[in-house]
Amino acid sequence: MRLAAVILTMGNRPAELAELIRTVAKQQGDPIDVVVVGNGVKASALPDLGGARTVDLPENLGIPAGRNEGYRLLLDLPPQQRPEVILTLDDDGSLNGDQVAEQLRAAFAADPRLGIVSFRITDPATGAVQRRHVPRVRVGDPNRSSTVTTFLGGANAVRTAVLEQVGLLPGEFFLFHEETDLAWRALDAGWSIEYRADLTLHHPTTSPTRHMTYHRMVARNRVWLAKRNLPWLLVPVYLAVWAGLTVLRTRDPAALRAWLGGFAEGLRTSAGPRRPMRWRTVWRMARLGRPPII
């Protein structure tokens, strides 16, 4: 089973990027074809890429659109070179051990309907797993694997057939919730998603609020996610739940104002193509512990 990896970078973490590529190169089994996408920088000019393919984007297109450029390069390869599974890895992470690739090959080979695998993310210094990095409503033990309904954007593996069938990430999202949009489309097409605690990406502990536009984009994209993917009956329920949770949780008035502004922007602007999931998918997600109103 041929594997490839897409790594998006802004060129500001060259040492971490080189270490990530080193951990990819040391994986057992056939070599992994690596694509480094420079988001507003010349990836081709970065040091220590170990022979990786590169894509140079003249401007920062955002995370989903940037990663899509890497996917497109791989999907356009001749059939005999095209990967069957594509890893997506944050440029400041590193794979733990040399068996991740072989474990992925075994997992995808064992289940032909397995579409996406989400890795466990641990802090390299403390071994801690952030709650937001376990894609379950009831997180429980982060060392327990399970079937889930979404996945982690910078630590995953996607079967190429999923991207070919349901499409790429929603580039217009720019940042946040793009992986959930893809996950919902994959689930509706009959694919399954697994959180695999035995597949680890080391990644420094961070907070999403480090991004200046966090509150606005999270709210806008949440609305777009619902408008694009949910049956109309569930859209107001989903958005009301998230609005209520946000108002109860947010203590910073400035952050709440930014969130409300993004929410309003999502309501009044186009979310792109609408492909509502079937009710059987809604029921399937509910049985997995995450009905699409949470």
* pLDDT tens digit sequence for 59-109: 999 999 999 999 999 999 999 999 999 999 999 999 999 999 999 999 999
Contact in structure between 36 and 52 (CB atoms under 8 Å): yes
Report which DSSP code applies to 209. G
Number of domains into which the chain is organized: 2
Shared domain for 105 and 175, answered yes or no, is yes
Q: What is the pLDDT of residue 207?
A: 74
Is the predicted pLDDT of residue 173 greater than 80, yes or no? yes
* pLDDT tens digit sequence for 174-217: 999 999 999 999 999 999 999 999 999 999 987 776 555 889 99
Shared domain for 33 and 83, answered yes or no, is yes
Q: What is the CATH number of the domain that holds 105?
A: 3.90.550.10
Q: What is the pLDDT of residue 212?
A: 58
Shared domain for 172 and 220, answered yes or no, is no
Is the predicted pLDDT of residue 49 greater than 80, yes or no? yes
Identity (one letter) of the amino acid at 219? A
Q: How far apart are CA 161 and CA 257, in angstroms?
A: 41
Q: What is the mean pLDDT of residues 257-285?
A: 96
Shared domain for 198 and 217, answered yes or no, is no
Domain-ending residue, one of 160, 179, 206: 206
| Entry pTM | 0.95
Assess if residue 291 is contained within a domain: no
Report which DSSP code applies to 86. E
Residues of the domain holding 88: 3-206
Assess if residue 15 is contained within a domain: yes
* Three-class DSSP category at 120: strand
Q: What is the pLDDT of residue 206?
A: 79
Shared domain for 183 and 103, answered yes or no, is yes
Q: What is the pLDDT of residue 205?
A: 86
Shared domain for 135 and 185, answered yes or no, is yes
Assess if residue 294 is contained within a domain: no
Shared domain for 124 and 269, answered yes or no, is no
Q: What is the pLDDT of residue 134?
A: 93
